């Protein structure tokens, strides 16, 4: 069900100026909602963040801490700061290349596709999540299914159906987007047969570096019992000045 | 009693006939036993070799490991439990292994590899690792040097074809270069001089030293003494990375595995994968590996090995191999079945001929008053005696070839021989020494004889005195 | 004259003749059929390797097989191609792009070898089109704007594209196949449930059924529950000419089933054009040149010629690529030898015995012939001819029966389905279609007939030694 803006009727235009922001937003198309959410998610041009990632399995659990710098969608540098065994490892993403530096072996290696098919650092995030360039706006057809509250916040429920020729693994996704802040609070990812493969849940919304964002994201694969990955943002800085040169192999070795 | 004496005398009355009949049975037994002996011997050596060289007859594993052979399904190799297992009467040695995957990198090349952490000494005893070490390599220098030596022309030509080939045994090298057993005495020392390859095995005192497959060393262009990086994921998601040095190069028969295998000392592997004290499997080397004792040993050990661990037999671990063996055994039985078909006709033919020849004699006996039943009885006894004669002589005659075939077996030639050599096995087709199969085969022959007797007896009861006298 | 007498003799004593004829016939049948059965699985494997996987000859850049590097293309494909085509005996050629990559779905991924093919030429040279499972697609025939990929059944299973669901249709089908209703009732808890791997499905079945029921019906239940949604999508990821990671989504245009699990799990096929766009490999450049020959037996010879014509490349034939196939063919020869020796020896002794008995039985008759003046040579000849006739008749009878049985089993094959797991993992079909080539057939028959004849020499000689006077006097 698509809501259309009625451009050409005078009363409608009047409405545009007189009605408050939230009501106006009611008239955005599903695609526009998704685009706005996506843009916000990708953040500004550049950013810095400190995060922890906890991988939970039935028999064990592990937490990794790291710092991350990124610019546009093309460059990212990640430095692992804990635990001791992994400390000092860096990962560099340059467009669709992924490099890894491990001080324990003093080796810089370009990661081949085979290495990337396992989850990153043992988590449920796959190569696809990190490196693939699929666009949630371009590769899907969006429809608004209604509204539903998540954690006491009013959300749109939007269905994203993958376009037939898109290079995406998912058949479709369901997103619950907070109407006020355009944050995806909950997502369900389905395969082409309509079976749930993964659920994502964002929580702990707070203001960080002047923006209202979720500080915690949980990833739950549907297939295996007791599997979960939790990412927490400890600190974040948006729009920092950072040159392309920062994202160099040299820097991989020296960054602290 | 009288009947027995009569039968006995009858048999020796016409020696020729008796011997011919007994002979047909003799040959039946002889061929059946020899053929089955070859079949069983071949299966034995083939499968035994495959099982022993890798999986062993019994393994201790986490119960989920065989379904999902991942590092996270490893278990703590508890010393107490292991000692207890080792103290079992049938267990010789307890060999732990830690197996996982990693990315190997050298220079700018990378390759996914399987890493096997092993106890160097124990592994050596179990799977004869030293045999696998490359001992000769036909490098360019070696070939040039060999060219200038005294070698048969045929070998010199073949040198080019096998450039850069690595060998772990002289057997295979001799096959490839067309060196016969007679020439070997002269040629082997030359090969040793020019084409020897310095190699080392694993050692706990050299923890960073690895063994790599010859295919892997070719692909990554690394040699003994070069550095190799391994990285990947360890236990419970920890990251694994380390620098290592190539201590030695091994050659495994399967090119796919040879290109992707790395051996290292167990403790080194545990360090690399953050898997302290863990093992993915513990292979048990045992004394008596007959089916029965493998199963009973497994049962004994499982009584104190607690879940989630389990002691598994090679059959449970190797369902594919088992499937193959069963298919093979079936086809072997079909072959024997066909042999029996041919043999049975031989026996029937002879017996029927004998009956036909004695028609006159029988007719006469019946006409002077002998009851058909008695006649049948005597004839039956006669045939059993002849049968027994044939069977016993057949068994005795089969012993020499069976024993000889075991001690000095038939040798293969050609490609098949090469395959055997690659696997570190001698390219021979040995026989199996007399065992229960002797009983089974004899039983079948006795059944054939019985059927022949039944037919003969029927014939006796159908005798028309006058017709037979006229014969 | 002797011949006519011999012929009459043969039919005079029907029982005896029938016995010898049967012995020979059985020997021929046994030998031929056994070889046919064994031969067939080898022949099938070799045929499959040639028609589905390798074809006859492959030409690569010298580095390519060890480096698998995308840039190790054949330097000058068109001239290599015309050179190979000009060799007599070469039927067709085509090129392939070969790249290592990863295939992924939303839940699984697997390493694969991506083959970029010239679709038109491949249909001439390979049989894969025929191996596409019905209902999974139409090879590359469909006119579609999507990228297409052809994958093997094993890969489809590994990627969880093939599922197992006991739909109402599946249950109905099982019912019509005479699966007992109480077994079907036991499966009710999992009706409609989707299982993404056959291991999981097997485990459920083991839980719900008794061991005997599982043994008998599991395979059939799995077949009925086998489900695939046509046009499933997978993502192929690989490196391009600049060593950058690239990839795209591909629609599965068909799932092929061969008897070789390894092949099914590793090889995927994509129209070359699609790969060129993604990797930047130029038009006309290929990694491999493949040639198909008219006659497989000329493989070695033509390979040598090709090697001489193309000294800058690596030229290999199917035997060199899969040396274990060449070995198995060798092995078959040796096994055949041993087997035939034993069967022939058994046959020979059987015949010797029977004929010896026959001679003994005919002592009186033979003695009579000798007494009335038939000379030794003629008696010997007569018996020999009798044996020749018996052996030939037996030989033909055996051939006839063997032929008939082979025809009968050839159509439906001998199904060793129970052992299919082990055999297919190594690339062997568990469904044997006994075949034998005429050469074997004729050789076997001749060998056996000769054995029959040779085996008669001893009894014939024995006949000569009979003393006519004594002979007549025999009981």
Q: What is the pLDDT of residues B25-44, one digit of tens each?
A: 787 788 778 878 887 777 77
Residue A168 scores a pLDDT above 90: no
- The 10s digit of each residue's pLDDT in B55-64 is 788 898 988 8
Domain boundary among C228, C253, C283: C228
Residues C120 and C243 in one domain: yes
Q: Quote the Cα angle for C57-C59-C62, to 5°.
A: 140
Residues C176 and C141 in one domain: no
Residues C214 and C289 in one domain: no
Query: How many contacts (CB atoms, under 8 Å) link A and C?
Result: 65
Residues C456 and C371 in one domain: yes
Contact A117 C245 (CB under 8 A): no
Contact C361 B330 (CB under 8 A): no
Residues C253 and C276 in one domain: yes
Residues C37 and C172 in one domain: no
Chain mean position to CA C214 = 29
Interface test with C, best of A93, A109, A113 (most C CBs within 10 A): A113
From chain A, the residues in CB contact with C192 under 8 A are: none
pLDDT at position C114, please?
Answer: 93
Q: What is the mean pLDDT of chain A?
A: 81
- Name every residue whose Cβ is closer than 8 Å to that of residue C414 and which is 6 or more positions away in sequence: C37, C431, C432, C433, C434
Q: Which residue has the tokens 């369901």?
A: A174
Contact C249 A113 (CB under 8 A): no
Of A97, A169, A197, the CB nearest to C245: A97
What are the φ/ψ torsions at residue A79 (nearest 5 degrees)? -120, 125
Total number of domains constituting chain B: 1
Q: Is residue A233 within a helix (H) or strand (E), and if so which, with residue range?
A: strand A228-238
CB B39 within 8 A of CB C338: no
pLDDT at position C475, please?
Answer: 47
CA dist B299 and B292 (Å) reads 11
Lowest mean pLDDT segment, chosen from A124-133, B398-407, C130-139: A124-133
Name the A residues in 98-117 with CB < 8 Å from any B CB. Answer: 100, 102, 104-107, 109, 112, 114-115
Residue B455 class from Cβ within 10 Å (0-12 exposed, 13-18 middle, 19+ buried)? middle
* Per-residue 3-state assignment (H helix, E strand, C coil) for A173-192: EEEEEECCCCCEEEEEEECC
From chain A, the residues in CB contact with C105 under 8 A are: 169, 191
More confident position, C405 or B428? C405
Residues C338 and C450 in one domain: yes
CB B214 within 8 A of CB B250: yes
CA dist B112 and C68 (Å) reads 13
Provide the β-strand partners of residue C335.
none
Q: pTM of the prediction? A: 0.74
Contact C19 B28 (CB under 8 A): no
Residue C257 lies in a domain: yes
- If one counts every other C-beta atom within 10 angstroms of the C-beta of residue B300, the result is 16
Three-state DSSP at B264 gives strand
Residues C19 and C122 in one domain: no
Contact A113 C244 (CB under 8 A): no
- If one counts every other C-beta atom within 10 angstroms of the C-beta of residue A138, the result is 10
Q: How large is the average pLDDT for residues B441-461?
A: 81
CA dist A118 and B238 (Å) reads 13
Domain boundary among C311, C340, C370: C311
Contact A109 B112 (CB under 8 A): no
Asked if the C-beta of A195 comes within 8 angstroms of chain C's C-beta atoms, the answer is yes
Residues C170 and C104 in one domain: no
Contact B346 C23 (CB under 8 A): yes
CB C422 within 8 A of CB C315: no
Q: Is residue C270 within a helix (H) or strand (E), and if so which, with residue range?
A: strand C267-271
Q: Quote the Cα angle for B338-B342-B344, to 5°.
A: 110
- The 10s digit of each residue's pLDDT in A15-43 is 444 444 444 445 788 888 888 888 877 76
Residue C390 lies in a domain: yes
From chain B, the residues in CB contact with A79 under 8 A are: none
Asked if the C-beta of A161 comes within 8 angstroms of chain B's C-beta atoms, the answer is no
Q: What is the mean pLDDT of chain B?
A: 81
CB B337 within 8 A of CB B443: no
More confident position, A217 or B23? A217
Residue B385 scores a pLDDT above 60: yes
What are the φ/ψ torsions at residue C246 (nearest 5 degrees)? -145, 175
CB B69 within 8 A of CB B280: yes
- The 10s digit of each residue's pLDDT in B260-272 is 899 999 999 999 9
Q: How large is the average pLDDT for residues B460-466?
A: 72
CB C102 within 8 A of CB C111: yes
Retrieve residue B69's tokens.
Answer: 């052979």
CA dist C113 and C102 (Å) reads 8
pLDDT at position B469, please?
Answer: 65
From chain A, the residues in CB contact with B237 under 8 A are: 55, 57, 60, 62, 121-123
Contact C101 A193 (CB under 8 A): no
Segments making up each domain of chain A, as ranges: 10-254
CB C129 within 8 A of CB C117: no
Contact A86 B72 (CB under 8 A): no
CA dist B460 and B379 (Å) reads 9
Contact B274 A122 (CB under 8 A): no
How does pLDDT run along chain C (475 residues), one tens digit per residue? 778 888 888 788 777 778 778 877 877 777 777 777 767 767 777 888 888 888 888 988 888 877 778 888 888 888 888 888 888 888 889 999 999 888 988 878 888 999 999 988 888 888 888 888 887 888 887 777 788 899 999 899 888 888 888 888 888 888 888 888 888 888 888 888 888 777 788 888 888 888 888 888 888 888 888 888 877 888 898 888 887 778 888 889 889 988 777 888 889 999 998 889 888 888 888 999 999 988 887 888 888 888 888 888 888 888 888 777 776 666 666 666 767 777 777 677 767 777 777 777 777 777 777 777 777 778 787 877 877 787 778 878 887 888 888 777 766 666 555 555 555 655 566 555 666 667 767 777 777 778 777 877 877 777 777 666 665 665 4
CB C332 within 8 A of CB C436: no
From chain C, the residues in CB contact with B325 under 8 A are: 422
Question: DSSP class of residue C130?
Answer: G
Contact C37 B334 (CB under 8 A): yes
Contact A105 B237 (CB under 8 A): no
- Name every residue whose Cβ is closer than 8 Å to that of residue C39 and which is 6 or more positions away in sequence: C332, C434, C435, C436, C440
Name the B residues in 254-293 with CB < 8 Å from any C CB. Answer: none
pLDDT at position A11, please?
Answer: 42
Terminal-residue alpha carbon distance, chain B: 31
From chain A, the residues in CB contact with B112 under 8 A are: 114-115
Of B219, B327, B339, the CB nearest to C422: B327
Residues in chain C: 475
From chain A, the residues in CB contact with B229 under 8 A are: 105, 107, 109
From chain C, the residues in CB contact with B350 under 8 A are: 350, 353-354, 357
CA dist C282 and C78 (Å) reads 13
Of B219, B321, B349, the CB nearest to C353: B349
CA dist B2 and B8 (Å) reads 10
> What is the CB-side half-sphere exposure of residue C311 using CA atoms within 13 A?
1
Contact C235 A96 (CB under 8 A): no
Asked if the C-beta of A58 comes within 8 angstroms of chain B's C-beta atoms, the answer is no
Contact C111 B345 (CB under 8 A): no
Residue B196 scores a pLDDT above 60: yes
Is the alpha carbon torsion for C20, C23, C25, C28 positive or negative?
negative
- What is the residue range of C133's domain? 63-160+230-311
- The 10s digit of each residue's pLDDT in A171-203 is 899 999 988 888 889 999 998 888 888 999 998
pLDDT at position A9, please?
Answer: 38
Residues C102 and C235 in one domain: yes
DSSP E strand boundaries for C71-174: 90-104, 109-117, 148-152, 163-165
* B418 Cα to chain C: minimum distance (Å): 9
Retrieve residue B66's tokens.
Answer: 């065989």
Query: Maximum CA pair distance of chain B?
Result: 103
Residues C171 and C150 in one domain: no
Residues C115 and C244 in one domain: yes
More confident position, A89 or C214? A89
Residue B356 scores a pLDDT above 80: no
Three-state DSSP at A50 gives strand
| Percent of residues in chain A assigned helix, strand, coil, to nearest 5 | 20, 45, 35
Residues in chain A: 256
Residue B66 lies in a domain: no
Chain mean position to CA B193 = 34
Contact B419 C327 (CB under 8 A): yes
Question: DSSP class of residue B287?
Answer: S
pLDDT at position C415, please?
Answer: 59
CB C243 within 8 A of CB A129: no
Contacts of A151-154 spanning 24+ positions with Cβ under 8 A: A151/A185, A151/A203, A153/A178, A153/A179, A153/A180, A153/A185, A153/A205, A154/A178, A154/A179, A154/A180
Lowest mean pLDDT segment, chosen from A88-97, B82-91, B145-154: B145-154
Asked if the C-beta of B24 comes within 8 angstroms of chain C's C-beta atoms, the answer is yes
Chain mean position to CA C106 = 37
CB B240 within 8 A of CB B39: no
Contact C426 B324 (CB under 8 A): yes
Of A59, A85, A107, the CB nearest to B239: A85
ipTM of the complex in this document: 0.75
Retrieve residue A75's tokens.
Answer: 């460059």
Provide the β-strand partners of residue C246.
C238
> What is the CB-side half-sphere exposure of residue A175 using CA atoms within 13 A?
25
- What is the residue range of B364's domain? 2-49+321-470
| Percent of residues in chain B assigned helix, strand, coil, to nearest 5 | 60, 20, 25
CA dist B96 and B119 (Å) reads 7
Provide the β-strand partners of residue C59.
C289, C315
Provide the β-strand partners of residue B21.
none
CA-nearest of B340, B460, B357, B28 to C356 is B357
CA dist C299 and C293 (Å) reads 7
* Closest chain C residue by Cα to residue B17: C357
pLDDT at position A135, please?
Answer: 79
Region at C124 (left for phi over 0; alpha for psi -120 to 50; beta for the rest): alpha
% chain A with pLDDT above 90: 22
pLDDT at position C418, please?
Answer: 54
Question: Does the N-terminal peptide bond of residue A83 adopt cis geometry, omega within 30 degrees of 0?
Answer: yes
CB A130 within 8 A of CB A118: no
pLDDT at position A66, please?
Answer: 92
Asked if the C-beta of A98 comes within 8 angstroms of chain C's C-beta atoms, the answer is yes
CA dist C97 and C117 (Å) reads 7
Report CA-CA distances (Å) from B186 to A148, B150, B176, B180.
89, 9, 17, 11
Contact C19 B345 (CB under 8 A): yes
Asked if the C-beta of B38 comes within 8 angstroms of chain C's C-beta atoms, the answer is yes
Contact C238 A97 (CB under 8 A): no
CA-nearest of C155, C252, C233 to C197 is C155
Domain boundary among C228, C250, C279: C228
Query: How many contacts (CB atoms, under 8 Å) link A and B?
Result: 56
Chains contacting A with at least 3 CB pairs below 8 Å? Answer: B, C
* Closest chain A residue by Cα to residue B101: A115
CATH 3.40.50.1000 for the A10-254 domain, yes or no: no
Report CA-CA distances (Å) from B429 to B420, C95, C260, C335, C387.
11, 43, 28, 11, 36
* Closest chain B residue by Cα to residue A53: B237
């Amino acid at each position: 069900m698509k809501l259309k803006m009625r451009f050409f009727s005078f009363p409608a235009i009047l409405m545009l100026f007189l009605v408050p922001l939230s009501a106006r937003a009611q008239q955005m198309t599903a695609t526009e909602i998704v685009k706005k959410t996506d843009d916000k998610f990708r953040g500004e041009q550049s950013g810095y963040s400190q995060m922890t990632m906890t991988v939970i399995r039935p028999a064990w659990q592990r937490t990794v801490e790291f710092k991350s710098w990124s610019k546009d969608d093309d460059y990212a540098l990640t430095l692992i700061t804990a635990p001791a065994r992994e400390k000092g490892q860096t990962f560099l993403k340059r467009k669709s290349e992924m490099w890894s530096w491990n001080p324990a072996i003093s080796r810089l290696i370009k990661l081949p596709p085979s290495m990337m098919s396992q989850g990153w650092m043992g988590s449920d995030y796959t190569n696809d999540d990190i490196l693939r360039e699929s666009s949630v706006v371009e590769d899907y057809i969006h429809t608004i299914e209604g509204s539903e509250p998540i954690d006491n916040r009013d959300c749109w429920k939007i269905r994203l159906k993958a376009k037939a020729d898109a290079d995406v693994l998912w058949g479709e996704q369901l997103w619950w987007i907070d109407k006020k802040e355009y944050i995806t609070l909950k997502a369900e990812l389905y395969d082409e047969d309509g079976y749930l493969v993964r659920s994502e849940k964002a929580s702990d919304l707070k203001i960080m570096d002047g923006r209202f964002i979720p500080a915690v994201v949980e990833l739950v694969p549907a297939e295996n019992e007791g599997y979960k990955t939790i990412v927490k943002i400890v600190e974040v800085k948006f729009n920092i000045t950072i040159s392309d040169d920062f994202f160099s192999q040299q820097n991989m070795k020296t960054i602290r | 009693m009288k009947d027995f004496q009569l039968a006995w005398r009858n048999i020796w009355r016409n020696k020729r006939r008796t011997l011919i009949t007994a002979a047909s049975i003799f040959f039946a037994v002889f061929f059946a036993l020899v053929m089955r002996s070859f079949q069983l011997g071949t299966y034995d050596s083939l499968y035994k070799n495959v099982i022993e060289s890798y999986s062993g007859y019994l393994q201790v594993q986490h119960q989920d490991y065989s379904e999902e052979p991942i590092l996270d399904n490893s278990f703590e190799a508890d010393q107490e439990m292991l000692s207890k297992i080792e103290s079992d009467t049938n267990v010789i040695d307890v060999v732990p292994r830690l197996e996982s995957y990693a990315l190997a990198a050298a220079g700018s090349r990378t390759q996914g590899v399987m890493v096997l952490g092993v106890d160097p000494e124990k592994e050596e005893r179990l799977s004869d690792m030293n045999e696998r070490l490359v001992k000769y390599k036909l490098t360019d220098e070696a070939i040039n040097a060999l060219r200038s030596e005294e070698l048969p022309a045929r070998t010199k030509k073949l040198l080019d074809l096998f450039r850069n080939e690595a060998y772990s045994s002289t057997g295979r090298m001799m096959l490839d270069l067309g060196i016969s057993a007679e020439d070997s005495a002269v040629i082997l020392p030359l090969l040793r001089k020019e084409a020897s390859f310095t190699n080392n095995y694993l050692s706990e005192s050299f923890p960073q030293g690895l063994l790599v497959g010859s295919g892997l060393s070719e692909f990554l262009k690394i040699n003994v003494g070069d550095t190799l990086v391994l990285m990947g994921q360890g236990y419970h998601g920890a990251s694994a990375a380390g620098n290592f040095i190539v201590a030695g190069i091994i050659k495994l028969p399967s090119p796919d595995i040879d290109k992707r295998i790395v051996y290292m000392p167990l403790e080194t592997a545990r360090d690399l994968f953050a898997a302290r004290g863990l093992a993915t499997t513990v292979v048990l080397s045992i004394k008596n590996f007959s089916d029965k004792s493998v199963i009973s040993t497994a049962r004994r050990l499982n009584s104190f090995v607690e879940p989630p661990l389990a002691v598994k037999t090679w059959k449970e671990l190797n369902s594919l191999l088992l499937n193959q063996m069963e298919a093979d055994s079936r086809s072997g039985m079909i072959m024997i079945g066909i042999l029996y078909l041919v043999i049975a006709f031989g026996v029937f033919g002879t017996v029927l001929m004998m009956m036909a020849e004695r028609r006159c004699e029988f007719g006469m006996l019946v006409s002077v008053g002998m009851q058909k039943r008695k006649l049948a009885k005597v004839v039956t006894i006669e045939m059993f005696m002849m049968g027994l004669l044939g069977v016993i002589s057949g068994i005795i005659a089969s012993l020499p070839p069976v024993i000889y075939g075991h001690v000095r077996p038939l040798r293969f030639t050609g490609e098949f021989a090469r395959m055997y050599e690659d696997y570190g096995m001698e390219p021979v087709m040995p026989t199996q020494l007399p065992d229960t199969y002797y009983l089974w085969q004899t039983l079948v022959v006795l059944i054939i004889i019985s059927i022949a007797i039944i037919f003969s007896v029927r014939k006796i009861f159908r005798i028309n005195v006058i017709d037979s006298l006229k014969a | 004259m002797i011949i006519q007498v011999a012929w009459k003799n043969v039919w005079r004593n029907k029982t005896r003749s029938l016995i010898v004829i049967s012995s020979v016939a059985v020997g021929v049948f046994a030998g031929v059929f056994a070889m046919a059965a064994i031969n067939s699985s080898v022949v099938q494997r070799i045929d499959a390797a040639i028609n589905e996987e390798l074809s006859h000859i492959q030409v690569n850049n010298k580095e390519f097989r060890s480096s698998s590097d995308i840039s190790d293309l054949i330097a000058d494909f068109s001239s290599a191609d015309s050179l190979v085509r000009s060799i007599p005996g070469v039927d067709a050629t085509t090129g392939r792009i070969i790249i290592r990559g990863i295939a992924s779905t939303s839940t699984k991924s697997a390493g694969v070898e991506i083959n970029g093919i010239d679709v038109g030429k491949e249909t001439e040279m390979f049989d894969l089109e025929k191996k596409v499972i019905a209902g999974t697609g139409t090879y590359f025939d469909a006119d579609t704007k999507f990228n297409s990929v052809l994958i093997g059944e094993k890969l489809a299973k590994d990627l969880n594209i093939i599922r197992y669901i006991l739909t109402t249709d599946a249950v109905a089908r099982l019912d019509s196949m005479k699966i007992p209703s109480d077994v079907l009732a036991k499966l009710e808890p999992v009706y409609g449930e989707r299982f993404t791997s056959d291991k999981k499905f097997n485990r459920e079945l083991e839980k719900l059924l008794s061991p005997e029921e599982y043994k008998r019906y599991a395979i059939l239940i799995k077949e009925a529950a086998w489900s695939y949604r046509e046009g499933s999508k997978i993502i192929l990821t690989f490196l391009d000419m600049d060593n950058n990671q690239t990839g795209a989504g591909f629609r599965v245009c068909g799932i092929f089933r061969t008897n070789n699990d390894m092949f099914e799990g590793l090889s995927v096929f994509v129209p070359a054009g699609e790969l060129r766009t993604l990797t930047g490999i130029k038009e006309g450049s290929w990694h491999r040149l493949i040639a198909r020959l008219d006659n497989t037996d000329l493989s070695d010879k033509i390979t040598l010629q090709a090697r001489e014509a193309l000294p800058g490349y690596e030229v290999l034939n199917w035997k060199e690529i899969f040396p274990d196939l060449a070995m198995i063919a060798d092995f078959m020869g040796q096994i055949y030898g041993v087997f035939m020796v034993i069967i022939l020896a058994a046959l020979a002794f059987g015949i010797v015995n029977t004929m010896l008995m026959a001679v003994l039985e005919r002592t009186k008759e033979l003695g009579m012939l000798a007494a009335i003046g038939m000379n030794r040579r003629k008696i010997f000849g007569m018996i020999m001819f009798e044996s020749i006739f018996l052996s030939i008749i037996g030989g033909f009878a055996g051939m006839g029966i063997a032929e008939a049985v082979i025809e009968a089993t050839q159509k439906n094959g001998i199904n060793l389905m129970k052992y299919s797991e082990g055999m297919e993992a190594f690339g062997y079909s568990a469904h044997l279609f006994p075949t034998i080539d005429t050469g074997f057939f004729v050789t076997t028959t001749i060998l056996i007939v000769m054995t029959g004849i040779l085996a008669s020499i001893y009894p014939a000689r024995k006949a000569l030694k009979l003393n006519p006077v004594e002979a007549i006097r025999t009981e």
